[in-house]
Amino acid sequence: VGAAEIAYQAGGSPLAKEEMHQNINPKAPPMTKAEFARASQIYFERCAGCHGVLRKGATGKALTPDITLGKGTDYLKIFIAYGSPAGMPNWQTSGEMSEADVDLMARYIQQEPATPPEFSLADIERSRKVLIPPAQRPKRKMNNYNLDNLFSVTLRDSGEIALIDGDSKEIINIIKTGYAVHISRLSKSGRYLYVIGRDGKINLIDLWMPKPDNVAEIKVGLEARSVETSKYKGFEDKIAVAGSYWPPQFVIMEGDTLKPQKVVSTRGMTVDNEYHPEPRVASIVASHYKPEFLINAKESGKIMMVDYSDLKNLKTTTIDAAKFLHDGGFDSTGRYFLVAANASDKIAVVDTKLGKLSALVNVGKTPHPGRGANFIHPKYGPVWATSHLGSEDISLIGTDPQGHKQQAWKVVQTIKGQGGGSLFIKTHPKSKNLWVDTPLNPDTKISQSVAVYDINNLEKGPQTIDIAGCAKLGDGAKRVVQPEYNKAGDEVWFSVWSAKDKASAIVVVDDKTRQCKSVIKDAKLITPTGKFNVYNTQHDVY
Ligand code: DHE
């Protein structure tokens, strides 16, 4: 496990704010209530991302008392303080934990895992607010914005999103949301925008209002990352779904009121037929071929194709893929869904028409495609590409079993990027460029620039573009993250993501000339990360 992968996984969990139930293990070194509370907070801020809420292990090892008690406090202290070559960070020698905290954590992990509360349908319903009921909403679009080219931009640390007009580059509205919004998705018609915070809060934004704003909100769980809406004919704008990390479950809701209809747990067996108590819900996409959501359970390695046409008699096709499912997107036809199994260094391919696994494709170390990038390779035909957190490789996978049978679901070419620590890769059907970011690369020169390839001449290697340099922001670490195209496919937007108390920016690059075209700066643009163009998100164009 490399530095980039650890930096990525060890993000703070909103569960750190919850009061945990203390299960006392008489064999473990004793802890006071106050010590337990402090240790729980440190655990959820630093450790849970890799070791899991219930310490059953994910990227990191399992840390349940049956394992930790035998090791003893002194051994565990050394491990926490100095780390390990397998990827455990050196918490004490790096200065991030004091000696006292290391001792506290060594004792804490010998106790039974703290259990955060469950969150039932009734809890979810109690959190719901309909600010403007559907009957009082506009009957038609009441503004003059070119909604197709609107961008929903996450302002991570301020708990907001900015709606930015892609034509004028003006901020239309800044909307209060949950904390650290992870993604934005559009309803089938493009009218409703759904955003989900890391704290499980969904905001439903009506883009038809004179000034687009919140019309409903709900909290679906205590920690979450994904939301999606029904796309199939007859169900347009009707249904929404959200997955949570804790509790490990997903909830299906009414599209326009967010009224929860059904909660389904993901607890159960993994692809290795072992029980896992908390398979977190990672990415979710909506099928174009059937009234189904494809819901990816991280730790179980299973993809659930959930039929939303009859919630009382719920039909689910469960596909065994590989561990740990994370992020993914469709091929250019919208028939095949490709998702990273990041701990297996594989991409799982699902045929959404047949409801079957088409292939598990071996790629590089820790693939991280975002939604991936589709283009026509001059030699191999239609391909979908992923970059990697753990290596500089960019893997191109053939996606055309009809026209290019030999290449289908095989890595047809691997090209070299700037380095590991990549999160997102992007192109557009109208573009000849393939853009790859590297925000988690430890070399600031690399994390602040992006690589761009000519799709018709990949062998030539990339041109690197100093995106942070275009923003002219002064000092401080600036990670350049997530390329996103405008609707026309002639501009690419990048976030220049600085600390909360430092200036950030969005840099817009002319896709043809690869020159910086404009820089969006505003005191209100705090820590921009994900950007979602309405049309491209609505139609799965990437
Ligand atoms: Fe993400 C997508 C989970 C860290 C920015 N991220 C996703 C998805 C999941 C996920 C499951 C796919 C959602 C979907 O498509 O339905 N991300 C996680 C984590 O668990 C992780 C590792 C750690 C954490 O604690 O959150 C994590 N992610 C990050 C970041 O550090 C990023 C850069 C900034 C942030 O918000 O914390 C980040 N993730 C994003 C973005 C997307 C995303 C911008 C959507 C990209 C897209 O183009 O679709």
Transcribe 3-69 into DSSP letters: HHHHHHH----GGGGSPPB----TTSPP--HHHHHHHHHHIIIIIHHHH-TTS--SSSPP--HHHHH
pTM over 0.90? The answer is: yes
Verify whether ligand 1 is closer than 6 Å to residue 10 (CB atom).
no
Nearest CA to ligand 1 atom 46: 370
Whole-number pLDDT of residue 486: 98
Note if 88 is an active site residue. Answer: yes
Parts of the chain with a pLDDT under 70: 1
Quick: pLDDT tens for 66-125: 999 999 999 999 999 999 888 899 999 999 999 999 999 999 999 999 889 999 999 999
Q: 154 and 166 in contact (C-beta within 8 Å)?
A: no
Q: What is the mean pLDDT of the chain?
A: 96
Atom of ligand 1 nearest to the CA of 182: 36
Nearest CA to ligand 1 atom 26: 11
Q: How far apart are CA 281 and CA 228, in angstroms?
A: 12
- Give the active site residue among 253, 304, 305, 368: 368
**In terms of Cα–Cα distance, which of 410, 407, 463 is closest to 432?**
463
Q: Is 309 exposed, middle or buried (0-12, 13-18, 19+ CB in 10 A)?
A: middle
Q: Residue 289 Cα, ligand 1 centroid: separation in angstroms?
A: 26
Atom of ligand 1 nearest to the CA of 12: 25
Verify whether ligand 1 is closer than 6 Å to residue 410 (CB atom).
no
Q: Residue 30 Cα, ligand 1 centroid: separation in angstroms?
A: 37
Nearest CA to ligand 1 atom 11: 282
Q: 118 and 15 in contact (C-beta within 8 Å)?
A: no
In degrees, to the nearest 5, what angle opens at C-alpha 307 toward C-alphas 304 and 311? 115
Whole-number pLDDT of residue 182: 97
Whole-number pLDDT of residue 1: 57
Q: How far apart are CA 474 and CA 472, in angstroms?
A: 6
